[in-house]
Amino acid sequence: MIKGLQYWKMCREDTKVNLNYFPGATTEDMESYVIPPLRRNPDEVIIHVSTNDLRDKTPRQVAESVVNLSDKINILQNSTANKVSISRAIHRNDDPALNSKISECNKIISFISLNNI
């Protein structure tokens, strides 16, 4: 979903942008994959996950796992000073049946996030 993103065009003199993507990965997989990039001590981490999980899990389960991943990233960074953002899941053309689950998952993530501030 993001592999065509031209992240190098977002770089500025004082800002470096890295993009790591893992096709087919689940939120659970990302708990392991996120560790090496965090060693670079990023100022911000943007999480874009969830659609692969929705094939086998409910929107609530997926939303909770995404929020838990965000919390784990904060713990691994040993601080909440660095920003962790959650990107909403986007609708898929390859599997339109997931789109209602994606919408529901996004609503739940927003609700949980707003209430955890």
**Burial level of 79, CB count in 10 A (0-12/13-18/19+)?**
exposed
3-state DSSP helix/strand/coil % of the chain, to nearest 5:
50, 10, 45
- The verdict on residue 35 lying in a domain is yes
8 A C-beta contact, residue 73 and residue 94: no
Percent of the chain with pLDDT over 90: 23
Domain that holds residue 81: 7-115
Q: What pLDDT does 117 receive? A: 57
Give the total number of structural domains in the chain: 1
8 A C-beta contact, residue 3 and residue 21: yes
- The verdict on residue 2 lying in a domain is no
Q: What pLDDT does 108 receive? A: 94
Residue 59 pLDDT more than 70? yes
- The verdict on residue 43 lying in a domain is yes
pLDDT for 23-33, tens place per residue?
Answer: 888 999 998 98
Round to whole Å and give the CA distance between 6 and 21: 13
Beta strands at 83-86 and 44-47: parallel, antiparallel or unpaired: parallel
pTM greater than 0.85: no
Residue 63 pLDDT more than 60? yes
